[in-house]
A and B are shown apart, each in its own frame.
Chain A
Amino acid sequence: MMIRFTLNGTAVALETPGSKRVLDLLRDECGLTGTKEGCGKGECGACTILLDGRVANACLLLACQADGHEIVTIEGLEHAGQLAPIQQAFVDEGAVQCGFCIPGMVLAAHALLAGQPQPTDDEIKRGLAGNLCRCTGYRKIIAAVRRTAQAGNA
């Protein structure tokens, strides 16, 4: 079927089976490999995208469900070659190790701050609890979210 949606601010129209996972659509057809697959079952958050501004697991979404909606992936967060403040904070805090969870983590943090600009540490932890990271221990990730909130510019 023909799927029309907004991808990182640009309108796209793609002929694709409606049953294709949005994860595969993004990676294989749109060439956006920043969205990762860690489990394919909604259990790890590596495939996190923003669907109409809210976090969603791209591994559980079908192409037909994207029709008429707005999707933001990690590639859409920076502006004119400038990392978004939350991305810069991840870099500055040293919050990245292998990096595989980071695109999803950054988008989850971005959505969290959009809804709750001054979260407590507990709110940050709960907001990121759907995104597994096996490398970092989360401490510097949480510090990056806190730093962004304090600077007041998610």
Chain B
Amino acid sequence: MRYVGEALALVAAATLAQARAAAAAVVVQYEELPALFDMAAARQPGAPQLYKENNIFKELHITRGDPAAAFAHCAAVVAHTYRTPPQEHAYLETQGMLAVPQPGGVMQLYGSMQCPFYVRDGVAAVLGSTLGATQITQTSTGGAFGGKEDVPSLPAAHAALLAWRTRRPVRLIYERDEDIICTSKRHAAVIRSKYGADRDGLLRAVEIEYLVDGGAYATLSPIVLFRGVVHAAGPYRCPNVRVDGYAVATNHVPAGAFRGFGSPQVLFAAERQMDELARQLKLDPVELRRRNLLRAGDATITGQTLHASVGATDTLDTALAYVREHPLAPPPANAPHLKYGRGLSTIYYGVGLGVGGEYLARTGATIQINHDGSVVFAVGTTEIGQGMKTVLAQIVAEALGVPFASVEMLPTDTTRVPDSGPTVASRATTMSGNALLHAAGQLRERLNAVAAEVLGRAPLQISLHHGQIFADGAPAALSFAQLLHECAVRRVSLSAQGWHHPRPLKYDWQTGQGDTYVVFSFATNIAEVLVDERTGATTVLRVTAAHDVGKAISPAGVEGQIEGGTLQGIGYALTEEIVQANGVIRNPHFSTYIIPTACDMPELVPLIVEHPFPDGPFGAKGFGEQPLMGVAPAIANAVCNALSISQYELPLTPERVWAALHSA
């Protein structure tokens, strides 16, 4: 057994009470081996071997220019070590699966998940059956945030094994403490960071070491680490860079995917570093960022030139303008212990799986127009509360020229569409959107051809909007119902399959130079806080968050993503920390692991910036993770600004802030 919470035995029973009694009757004899709960200890020579000879699951490097030489010519250099805690997803619905053996040897699973194709592959491997004999149907999923990326394969395989053994349906639903103890977290991290700039505040050299605690199994750590090192220096130009990333094996519960995927940790460090640098250069933090932000034509730290859809500076200006035009009321005059502070962060997010997950970067879709005019579509990505269903239905309606209300999405099921990869990396809108556009294009061609024939026009003269047919822009004497009838008479198929994969990326894994993601989204967060200098307690007054999303297909959905992600970021900044002692999680309940309630909600100002992505559906690029990513550094910078202190560790508990204030 490698971590507390690892499954040792599976028990199925007719009632929960019987199952509990049977599980309690299992006697386990443990022989205790030396364990590792600390990344530094795991990297010591002579440490117990958990993984290969050095306890490193994966290491990744970026080398660009010559940072060591460049530091010598810098006017200002700041070097600090930053620490971030494990964060719990706290999706409100725990992991749950129902396995139902079907006649003919098919195993059918229903459950809460992001990635049905992962579950399918996992279950088939465990049962030794074919992918064809494994059918996975996603049920309405009560939140995920990365916590239902790879993890559900485990309860699914457990339930399937029991169902296979008993030939009866098996339901497996985690209790809350079980869910917190047994499932993945955001990686705890240590970031050693050194930044150097010239007198004008231009970044000249960056050196970063990024360590993540991967826990007991590698799971997604290598690819989390990849996103982390690529995002390590934020959305800035810098000619001389060295990033060294290590995913370390320990005996903690395996860490995995969580909104931002290895980037919130490094962005916390990067954005604190920018403020530290500004302080040393006696430059306004806004001005320092403005001078270094990536613009179209600039290259990232991996040498990737950004050609289009680079809205970084625009998000900065948009957020600043809002705050300038809407000043907050000053803090109460009778409370001089309450200190106002303002902080900001500017970040970016590489959309999609990127070069690290390129082999999975393809997706399928089907659309069928029924003869009553109703439209159904199926995709391989999942609705997990992020609003994919709405966005994709909008895309289908727009592309087919039919009313939004006539379009329905079918439940995501592995037997309905080809393997479309996971629903992660903010990829559903762009990937499934493009696959649906491909399918819709085929259907439109057929509809246009039939309409043209009936109306005696050329197909190019025909257009369709909201279920109305136009010829040369004028309403045609042909209703949509008649057109469908004409198609039926001609036995034209009104079902089509779409497929999409992004353009290939070129990357050198030795030097860490090349193209990493097809496009980047950008955001600026401005946090305003009141800190009580008597207690160190922080109240967030307002977060103004401007996001460049390419094109907001569903503006209300974009706002919802920004609001929800921002609140998760506030939790990450101020209260959320999984506490472990000797590998045992000490706070596996909502009463001890504190996520924000309605009372903790500050004024949230979501602002949409649109720099269209030429290869995205209607210009959209994914961004669902981004809202969480820049919030903690903005709040940390605001707290530091309020009290003239420096903070290097999350969460910013009153104790930490108070201690920093009294050690300064």
Task: Point out residues on A near B: beta carbons under 8 Å.
Answer: 36, 38-41, 43-44, 46, 94, 97-101, 124-126, 128-142
Contact = CB atoms under 8 A, between A and B. Distances in A.
Contacts of B94: 38
A137 B93 contact: no
Interface string B117-143: 000000000000000000000001111
B92 interface: yes
Given A39-B589, A39-B590, A100-B143, A138 B385 contact: no
B341 to A, nearest CB: 22
Contacts of B141: 98
B590 A99 contact: no
Contacts of B385: 97-100, 135
A137 B143 contact: no
16 contacts: A38-B590, A39-B589, A41-B591, A98-B92, A98-B143, A125-B598, A125-B599, A129-B599, A132-B595, A135-B385, A136-B564, A137-B562, A137-B563, A137-B567, A139-B604, A141-B598
A128 B176 CA distance: 21
Contacts of B175: 40
The number of chain B residues touching the other chain, given as a range, is: 35 or more
A131 B563 CA distance: 17
Contact of B601 (A41, A43, A138): A138
A9 B140 CA distance: 28
Contact of B92 (A125, A134, A137, A139): A134
Given A137-B567, A139-B563, 9 more contacts: A36-B93, A41-B590, A44-B176, A46-B92, A97-B385, A101-B92, A131-B598, A133-B92, A134-B143
Interface string B552-571: 00001101101111111000
B591 A137 contact: no
Contacts of B557: 94
B180 to A, nearest CB: 10
Contacts, number: 117
Contact of A44 (B144, B567, B590): B590
Contact of B595 (A40, A98, A124, A134): A134
A134 B87 CA distance: 13
B105 to A, nearest CB: 30
Main secondary structure of the interface of A (DSSP, over half): loop
A97 B385 CA distance: 4
Nearest to A43: B590
Main secondary structure of the interface of B (DSSP, over half): loop
Given A38-B92, A97-B385, A138 B598 contact: yes
B552 to A, nearest CB: 13
Interface in B560-591: 560, 562-568, 589-591
A144 B604 CA distance: 15
B144 to A, nearest CB: 8
A43 B590 CA distance: 6
Contacts of B57: none
B176 A41 contact: yes
A41 B92 CA distance: 13
A139 B601 contact: yes
Interface string B83-127: 000000111111000000000000000000000000000000000
Nearest to A24: B16
Contacts of B144: 98
B601 A140 contact: no
A110 to B, nearest CB: 15
A94 B556 contact: yes
Given A100-B142, A132-B92, A134-B90, A124 B176 contact: no
B146 to A, nearest CB: 12
B384 interface: yes
A91 B176 CA distance: 28
